[in-house]
Amino acid sequence: MTARAAPVEARPSPDHLDLKNPSADSAFADSNQPIEVIRKRADFLAANRGKRFVTPHFVLLAHRRRPDHPVEANSLRYGITVTKKIGNAVARNRMKRRFRALLAQSLPDHGIAGVDHIMIGRKTRNESDFATMRADLEKGLKFLAKKLGQAG
């Protein structure tokens, strides 16, 4: 008689981190502001005219939307840009996953309502630990809130 191995658990789907649907992720469950993903090139270009905060691992841009913008006025929006300068597809995708996780943890508490937040990846020699990147992101969000004339 042969012993049968227990079935191997499949790798969990990244669907648990659905930033488009705040109720899908526990990090956004207590946030009362809707969080949306920026997808239009024009919105990325507009954000480039906004304020910026530079760290060794990313550049954080913040741009206040016009009052006549079709998106809800108090919503939080984010976008992620990682160019081919960063590395191959595996490296770029890893960076985007880390950025999404950082934003999922930090935007509900430190994000600025009515502002588009863009994270641009920077090439570094070694990958920083998550806690350092999160501290940098929260520091950047607070700095940009002051720059945009909003307390918090």
| Rg of the chain in Å (alpha carbons) | 18
pLDDT of 2 > 80? The answer is no
pTM: 0.74
Please state, in angstroms and as integers, the Cα–Cα distance from residue 55 to each residue in 14, 101, 123, following that order.
Answer: 27, 17, 11
Average pLDDT over residues 91-118: 94
Q: Give 7-59 pLDDT, tens digit per residue.
A: 555 555 444 445 444 444 433 434 566 789 999 999 999 999 999 999 999 99
- 93 against 148, higher pLDDT: 93
149: left (phi over 0), alpha (psi -120 to 50) or beta: left
CATH class in words for 19-147? alpha beta
Q: Give 59-99 pLDDT, tens digit per residue.
A: 999 999 887 777 777 788 999 999 999 999 999 999 999 99
